[in-house]
Amino acid sequence: MYKAASFIIFGNTSVNTIRVYSVLDQNGQPHILKSILRVGVGESIVDNFHAGGVIYPINIEYGIIESFGEQKNSDRKFFYHPGTNKCMLGYAIPSWEKVIQIVKEAHVTLPTIRYIGWDIVVLENGEVDIIEANSNADHALFSRIGYDKLFFLRIQELLDL
């Protein structure tokens, strides 16, 4: 089991992952569309949004939490993590450059899959690992949270539809 000490402060029983959405353009070059930090809450063993976890939008250029978080069955806006009371706004994701690099390098090895939602973990030593690649990566999260809610035009431009 992974021990992601960089994220352990957000929940003590689940690995907290980064969901990174990438797309290959018409020339096969990878682009990052959006990224979300998924954190577990309480004693949950998963960080999934649909299982009670909180999602926080990550600014893809700087790797920081750029806005409040949301939980599926709550109208609350979570500026603080609901289990640790840690302020999340402005939190810098450790090894952000490595996160982006590993996603882009992995995506170009799969040229026939143009859109992927990657689940990434940052390990306690700063290394970055891919947990899985998802072809159906909960697209509803795009329009739910963050400043870049209007992503369709960007996807359309990149895919040359």
What's the token pair of residue 34? 């959006």
CATH code, domain with 43: 3.30.470.20
pLDDT digits (tens, 9 = 90+) for 10-32: 655 777 889 999 999 889 999 99
pLDDT on residue 92 = 93
pLDDT on residue 146 = 54
65 in any annotated domain: yes
- Residue 21's nearest CA partner among 148, 123, 125 is 148
103 in any annotated domain: yes
84 in any annotated domain: yes
44 in any annotated domain: yes
Question: Number of folded domains in the chain?
Answer: 1
Answering whether pTM is above 0.85, one says no
151 in any annotated domain: yes
Confidence of residue 152 (pLDDT cuts 50, 70, 90): low
Q: What is the domain range of residue 83?
A: 8-159
2 in any annotated domain: no
Mean pLDDT is highest, among 46-50, 114-118, 142-146, for 114-118
Contacts of 78 (CB under 8 A, 6+ apart): 54, 56, 68, 69, 70, 71, 88
pLDDT on residue 33 = 87
49 in any annotated domain: yes
41 in any annotated domain: yes
